[in-house]
Amino acid sequence: MTSSIRSLNHRFPPYVLAARLSNNLPLVPSVHLLTAMYTRIQRHNRERSKHHKEDEEHRKYCSRLREANEDEHDLRIGRRLREFELPGPQGYEEAISFANWDVFWYTRGFPSMDTERSRRHASKLLTYPITIGGVLHQHSGLTLNNQRLTPEGSRSLAALRSTLHVAPGAPETAEAAVGKPQVRIFILGARAESSLPPHVWEQLTMLFPSTHFHMFFIGPQVSLPQPSNTQTTPKTPATPSPLAEASETTPNTSDTATEVAEAEKPVYLPNVYQPPTPAPIARLKRTRSSIERYGVPSYTVPYTPQLTITGMQANYADVHAQFQHTLDPYSDVFFFFSPGFGFPSPESVSEETGEPLLQIASPTEWGPVLPMLLASKCAIFVTGFSPADVERDVRSLSTASDVAGEFEWVITPGPNTFGSEKWEIADFDPRVMVKTNWGIWGIRGKSRDIQEKSRFSLF
């Protein structure tokens, strides 16, 4: 009993001891009081443990919420984040493995990821560029042997890899990029990926030392650079006249009645989450505006001799005409990061049923875009944030009349080796938790081989 009393005494905070002294109570409570408190604590712990065992929702969500909360706190405590110290160019004749995150980090020369939290931080930062590299590289883990790569996909990737890599036996160096065509990667519907610092995207170029990349971020939520004239002089407010003050303070009854009537009118709001546009990105030294070239709010950054980044805040259907005659399956590829093909459209409604159309068939979202891309015969890769999201998007392909039956599989749907390992919590519902780029699949426009008939054949 003495040892239990001593351990309980250490649990009393200073304000409890001060309160006991101010009320002329003994500093150390009696044995009976301590025993009663100890019994009450044990009973409360047993009841809480029983409640948590019976509550399946608590077990399912709370551990993930705690993990996500601790990860966010760890990013803000001010420690040195070694997992964000990215390596430089790959050494000569040092092969890179794309088996999984651990082997990739080791063969690429990253600092050691000693904790699961460091893994989550690094995977979230690198999931976008390494997902692209893990698909396009000649040492990709998506092969015919594991049935993730189809024969049609093998031909598409062989065409891209003939541009991304040098001839067998030749050194893969920056000098080998002379004379090779530029590889353009179009990321459509870009949001968070457009706000990544350019040095993170530079990690993709280090996987292909002999290639010059031009990244295109296209979407209505693309982050644009901060204005060059950020410092503005504050305007001096003009002194209002007494008559203006009186008119502002006197409410207009007709306007007020109209506003109340409009507020009471029911408005249809579909249950579709619209992610906010990321904050403006930092303006680099060589950042220049490209609105004269593309006709939409845009910018271009020639970051390194191997990497150029262009961002356009517009729908791809509005700028496709500037690329359609130059698209080449040997040097152009399209990526959609969680595009939401299978989600209902917040704007378009079916004329027959009156229900919202899926975004893949909506004329205001992806409806006109996918047929354009399939006609180019370029490879199209799509990621999803969960198994249900991947299945939802794949099922939606059969509902769009201009897409169903017009494509061939390049990569079969399945997990993405380089998806983020960090749980992302939705702002609108903390029970919605996803992992960025959990799965990946790919398609291309269907090829139709022409068979020449003999001129002497009657049939």
What is the tens place of the pLDDT at every residue in 122-135?
999 999 999 999 99
pLDDT at 73: 92
Query: Which residues are bridge partners to 436 per DSSP?
Result: none
| CB of 297 closer than 8 Å to CB of 318 | no
**Residue 201, number of CB atoms within 10 A of its CB:** 21
| Cα radius of gyration rounded to whole Å, the chain | 30
Give CA–CA dist 369/120, Å, rounded. Answer: 34
pLDDT at 298: 94
| CB of 299 closer than 8 Å to CB of 131 | no
pLDDT at 267: 43
Give CA–CA dist 293/238, Å, rounded. Answer: 41
**Residue 92, number of CB atoms within 10 A of its CB:** 9
The percentage of residues in the chain with a pLDDT greater than 90, rounded to a whole number, is 57
Give CA–CA dist 128/135, Å, rounded. Answer: 11
Residue 45, pLDDT above cutoff 50: yes
Within 8 A by CB and 6+ apart from 366, the residues are: 339, 341, 359, 360
Considering only residues 180 and 232, tell me which one the structure prediction assigns the higher pLDDT: 180
DSSP 191: S
Strands 379-384 and 332-337: parallel
What is the average per-residue pLDDT within 91-112?
92
Considering only residues 46 and 149, tell me which one the structure prediction assigns the higher pLDDT: 149
pLDDT at 452: 65
How many Cα atoms within 13 Å fall on the side-chain side of residue 458? 0
Give me the residue spans of the domains in the chain: 63-225+278-445
DSSP 89: S
DSSP 226: P
pLDDT band at 281 (very low <50, low <70, confident <90, very high): confident
pLDDT digits (tens, 9 = 90+) for 9-41: 444 544 444 444 445 545 445 556 657 766 777
Within 8 A by CB and 6+ apart from 141, the residues are: 98, 99, 134, 148, 417
Residue 270, pLDDT above cutoff 70: no
pLDDT at 457: 53
What is the average per-residue pLDDT within 99-128?
94
pLDDT at 236: 44
Residue in 138, 143, 110 with CA at minimum distance from that of residue 126: 110
pLDDT at 172: 83
| CB of 174 closer than 8 Å to CB of 210 | yes
The percentage of residues in the chain with a pLDDT greater than 70, rounded to a whole number, is 76
Out of 5-9, 120-124, 210-214, 424-428, which region has the weakest mean confidence (pLDDT)?
5-9
pTM over 0.85: no
| CB of 186 closer than 8 Å to CB of 294 | no
What is the average per-residue pLDDT within 261-289?
64
Average pLDDT of the chain, as a whole number: 82
pLDDT band at 179 (very low <50, low <70, confident <90, very high): confident
pLDDT digits (tens, 9 = 90+) for 368-388: 999 999 999 999 999 999 999
Residue in 362, 413, 410, 351 with CA at minimum distance from that of residue 386: 413
pLDDT band at 169 (very low <50, low <70, confident <90, very high): confident
Considering only residues 429 and 289, tell me which one the structure prediction assigns the higher pLDDT: 289
pLDDT band at 46 (very low <50, low <70, confident <90, very high): confident
- Of 48-57, 61-70, 214-223, highest mean pLDDT: 214-223
